[in-house]
Amino acid sequence: MAIISFHLRNPKAVKPTPVFMSLYADNQQTKIKTGLRIEPKQWDVEGQKCKTRGKGLLQTNGQTNTDLAGMATRAIAFYGARRAVGRIPTGAEIWEAIKPVGSPEADLAPDLLADFEQYLSYLKPTRAPNTIKAKRTTYNHLAAYIKHTGRPLTYTDIDRVFRDGFTAYLSSVAGVADNTLAKQLTILKSFLNYATEHGRTPRVDITGWAWKFKEPDILPLTAAELVAVEGLTDLPDYLQNARDLFLLMCYTGLRYSDAVRLKPEYDKGDYLELTATKTDDALTIYIRRSLRPILARYWAGQIHLSPNRSLNRQIKVLARLAGINAPTEVVRYYSQTSRTVKETYQKYELVGCHTARRTYVTLSIELDAPADVVMQATGHKNHRTLQRYNKTTPSRQVAAMRKALGEEGE
């Protein structure tokens, strides 16, 4: 009688590792590949199958178990049939007989978009909603591109020709600017890495996929504009609440996703200490005097957390009330179509949650705060990123040159 068991090639692996089948019969063991890869944390060693209950598990685990059970049944039947005619089959022969139509070797991914949906589900428990939203946008672009071309898309189609066609579509048809296009390619590459690690496709060659683009200008508040927001009084409760949240982010450099999940235990007296939701970076942020009253209201439950979209609208109202209305030009580059689009807005129209983090970094640099101190607060990995903020502080340049030229009193 043949007995089947399943094992991982490397149970201690961090990434998905191959699952192989062992068939015991006639006092010998035959190893048979299954064509599947599983993350060890998804695998029930004792049960010899994928886990299906618990947090962070793949929705496809149940189907994977069904596939494994089907292969086991077919393997035993094939082995028995061959043995009946006096021939013991090899592992390779058994695999050829049992591999299902649509297996990773026969058809790596019959539905690439379905895999992308699984990718989003996989990330959702550990990523901020805005991160999932950005990746969902890439999924939508892929779906629209497939509809535009009228042809299905599989992993074998993902090559340099696809990259050129997809970027041309994004730029010319979808109207995506260069910086956004670069972000879409970055997300797509992350998905392809996920697909490889989960056994959906061999490694895809994405050499030369980088999209060169000109970084858009950073739009922070100036020191005077921040003072104007601080000076707003007699506000309705909802705007007072929005002002507190906005200033909290301006004073700390926290992203919205971190600002709305602060806890009293992060308060260490002189500083906040927490881990960033988006990047898992350890952050240490000095608590300035003007932040302490806001934190006191936060810890007391007097600050109500608003959805990101609502808070962005309310911040624009605050900026308008604060007189932040300087004409501000926004430049968008479309290199694929050789276009440069310039539009002018009143500055308050462009202010939102993202402005707070940029304001924190920019004003910290203006105050000559050491770069490593700023980076420890924001989680930035290198000085090159911080240099973008220097470009948008002409007041700092003027002050420095006046001091260097001895013209400060003039």
Shared domain check, 264 and 356: yes
Asked if 24 and 45 touch (Cβ cutoff 8 Å), the reply is: no
> Of 274, 278, 298, 277, whose CA–CA distance to 376 is shortest?
274
> Which pairs from 256-264 meet CB under 8 Å and 24+ separation?
256/130, 256/308, 256/311, 256/353, 257/128, 257/129, 257/130, 258/283, 260/305, 262/295, 262/298, 264/299
Helix or strand (DSSP H, E) at 283? strand 282-286
Among 75, 98, 121, which residue terminates a domain? Answer: 98
In angstroms, the CA 91 to CA 349 distance is 66
CB atoms near residue 71 (< 10 Å): 26
Q: Which regions of the chain are under pLDDT 70?
A: 1, 100-111, 213-217, 333-339, 389-396, 409-410
What pLDDT is recorded for position 301? 94
What pLDDT is recorded for position 294? 96
The contacts of residue 381 (CB under 8 Å, 6+ apart) are 375
CB atoms near residue 143 (< 10 Å): 13
What pLDDT is recorded for position 393? 61
Q: What is the pTM for the complete model shown? A: 0.61
In angstroms, the CA 404 to CA 410 distance is 13
State how many domains the chain has: 3
Residue 202 within a domain: no
Boundaries of domain holding 180: 112-197
Asked if 348 and 252 touch (Cβ cutoff 8 Å), the reply is: no
What pLDDT is recorded for position 106? 40
Residue 51 within a domain: yes
What pLDDT is recorded for position 27? 84
User: What letter represents residue 367's amino acid?
Assistant: L
Shared domain check, 53 and 29: yes
- For residue 87, the Cα-to-chain-centroid distance in whole angstroms is 53
